[in-house]
Amino acid sequence: MINCYSSGSIFGNEDVGGLAGFGTGLIVTSYSSAFVSGDGEYVGGLTGYGGPAVNSFWDIQASGQTVTAGGRGRTTQQMMQAKTYVGWNGDGQVDWIIDEDKDYPRLAWEGKPGQPIPVYSLSDFLPGSGTEDDPYLIATVEQFNSIGCFPSQWDKYYRLVADVNLVGIEYTTIGVGGKAFSGVLDGNGHTISNFTYQSNNSGVLGLVGVLDKNGVIKNIGLVDVLLRGYVDIGGLVGINDGKVSNCYASGTVSGDQYVGGLVGYNFGTVNNCHSSISVSEGWYVGGLVGFNTNIVTNCYSSGSVSGFSYVGGLVGSGYSRISVVQDSFWDIETSRQSWSAGGKGMTTAQMQDINTYLTAGWDFIGETANGVEDIWFMPASDYPMLVWEKDNP
């Protein structure tokens, strides 16, 4: 659903929304100014339940609703201002007009009074051209948050050149079902902090909602994340079909199904990553990955994990193309779990003994028998850590 709007009054019971009641399809550059009323649990200003919404809005005053499964709420005054709709007339095509402060946006073909919403491109907000040799550069929270307004640019290259703090920011998610992020997001060793979103009926939730098979996220630290959603919830990525490497996350994540500290549902690869996120509630809950169908390698998690069923310190559950958990361990004392569907249980003392890992073939600094990549190092009286953490304490 692209370039659509609704008005009037909507009444119903379950799954009631101003624009869509229930769905799994994608909503882009659309809005609702309708009054919405329903008796059930899933009632929202733009959508009642399900489908993701990109750069789409609803009127919280006219609707009488302060929540939605997708989209962003605005006051009536904000809904009548062109600055709300950055990116709507993208790619040089005028689809929308607005009579500033007098009316909601209208489709250009309707012939209503107004002026075209200003045409912007992502290069108006970010330096660079989005190529591998000249990536878009991100130095401020406003620059980072502008990416979500331009889904046509989600196949480009991005690089952080400073830490980004999302405190108090209504973050615009990058990558959703039907329009995954297929570019490269390189944190360049920087952090993104205070990513916060809480909604009981929101599915596929993460800093990047859905990462395409060609997408890459690397070298990012996610600090003090606070997420609550329904299904496919991960601090960094909700659904990963691409490559995630050299990333870490801290904070709190909870949800009903497929909930992971770093990744909710993993179809792709997760390599050289760690999570200290506290993960709770639901089914298929893991400290690093909620549900895994592919490869997790050279990773660890240290946060608390709890849930209803299929709960694991590193991975909640899953089936794997390699069908094996190899050379991996968990602490039977700190976890208070003597059994796992995969891996080998060790005492805390054994977990803090480098010989446990050398015998299993882990590649540490200072030895060559297990390889020369130097993936791990062993701090005194602690668990193994990834070598890149030395530069990112």
DSSP for 153-177 reads GTTSEEEESS-EE-TT-----B-BT
Question: pLDDT at residue 372 above 60?
Answer: yes
Task: Give the pLDDT band (50/70/90) at residue 280.
Answer: very high
Whether 291 contacts 317, CB under 8 Å: yes
Choice between 70 and 242, residue whose per-residue pLDDT is larger: 242
Topology of the domain comprising 123-323: Pectate Lyase C-like (2.160.20)
Could you report the per-residue pLDDT of 88-112, keeping only the tens digit for each?
987 667 899 999 999 999 999 999 9
Could you report the per-residue pLDDT of 150-159, keeping only the tens digit for each?
999 999 999 9
Could you report the per-residue pLDDT of 8-63, keeping only the tens digit for each?
999 998 889 999 988 767 889 999 999 999 988 889 999 987 767 889 999 999 99
Amino acid 161: pLDDT = 98
Task: Give the pLDDT band (50/70/90) at residue 70.
Answer: confident
Question: pLDDT at residue 283 above 60?
Answer: yes
Amino acid 320: pLDDT = 54
Helix (H) or strand (E) holding 331, with range, is strand 329-331
Q: What is the DSSP string of 334-391?
A: HH--S--SSSEEE-HHHHT-HHHHHHTT--BTT--TT-SS--EE--TTS--EEGGGGG
Could you report the per-residue pLDDT of 97-152, keeping only the tens digit for each?
999 999 999 999 999 999 999 988 899 999 999 999 999 999 999 999 999 999 99
Using CA atoms, how far apart are residues 178 and 210, in angstroms rounded to an integer? Answer: 9
pTM given for the model: 0.91
Report percent pLDDT > 90 for the chain: 79
Strands 96-98 and 115-116: antiparallel
Range in 121-130, 169-178, 314-323 with the lowest mean pLDDT: 314-323
* 62 phi/psi in degrees, rounded to 5: -65, -35
| Interval 224-237 mean pLDDT | 94
Give the domain ranges of the chain. Answer: 5-116, 123-323, 327-393
